[in-house]
Amino acid sequence: MRSRYPASSIFASSFGPGPLTPAIKALIAANVAAFLVALVVPAITLRLGLRPADVVGRLQLWQPLTYMFLHGGIFHLLFNMLALWMFGVELERMWGSRFFTKFYFVAGGGAALTTLLLSFTPLPFADQLYYSLTIGASGAVYGVLLAYARYFPHRPIYLYFVFPVPAKYFVIIIGAISLLSSTNGPGGGVAHTTHLGGLIAAYLYLRSGARSGLTAEIRYRYLKWRINRTRRRFDVYPGGRADNVDRRVH
């Protein structure tokens, strides 16, 4: 899909990737609005946050979607939205708003699904995970980071804002941190299993999309070959005199 946004612009030399793209602007606005509402009505966090016990026991099936719009504090919101802007803008320009939005929710939903599934396993932290509350867009943002590393693997990302690391290695590092942290349970209020789930869901979705794109390209080439082959069987005349009865148009 051809991007509607130019690859370079007057913002190219400024900090970050440039102005907000439509989908990211809408996502940031929704997250900020949900954060403000939760400040006024704190109970909404318990209602809309992801808690496996409520999803299964009380059939609150909206939680795997709504949890990603809530945040535990201003810095939690700020860092997630900053990462979404910094790493998501170029992806949306490249993919288009529709595909980016779909990818974002697949990554966030996959992160929630991972949390739900792990809460039913015999792992030591499963019971704690089953009754814990998970909020934040981190799972979806981790998926965005993985996609960014796939398309821009050599772009430097500053780990802890100090150490420049190529994007592909940065994602490996944060994935390893989430994996090791998840084996010790979701301590410190950080849902490492959700982060890891966002990475896995994004990876599987992009792999599936790549296979679909390859299949579509093969079908397109085959159909084009058949059309050209059929055309060569006929002589096509653009027209002629009305009294030329020997000329035919196929």
**Does the annotation count 138 as an active-site position?**
yes
* 3-class DSSP state of 231: helix
Q: Which residues contact 21 (CB under 8 A, 6 or more apart)?
A: 5, 88, 89, 92, 93, 97, 100
Contact 154, 167 (CB under 8 A): yes
Instruction: Count other Cβ atoms within 10 Å, centred on residue 38.
Output: 21
13 is catalytic: no
Assess contact for 58 and 64: CB atoms under 8 A. no
The secondary structure element, H or E, covering residue 166 is: strand 163-166
Beta carbons within 8 Å of 49's beta carbon, 6+ residues apart? 63, 66, 67, 70, 133, 134, 135
Residue 156's H or E segment, with its range, is strand 156-159
Given 119, 132, 138, 178, the catalytic residue: 138
- Which residues belong to the active site? 138, 195
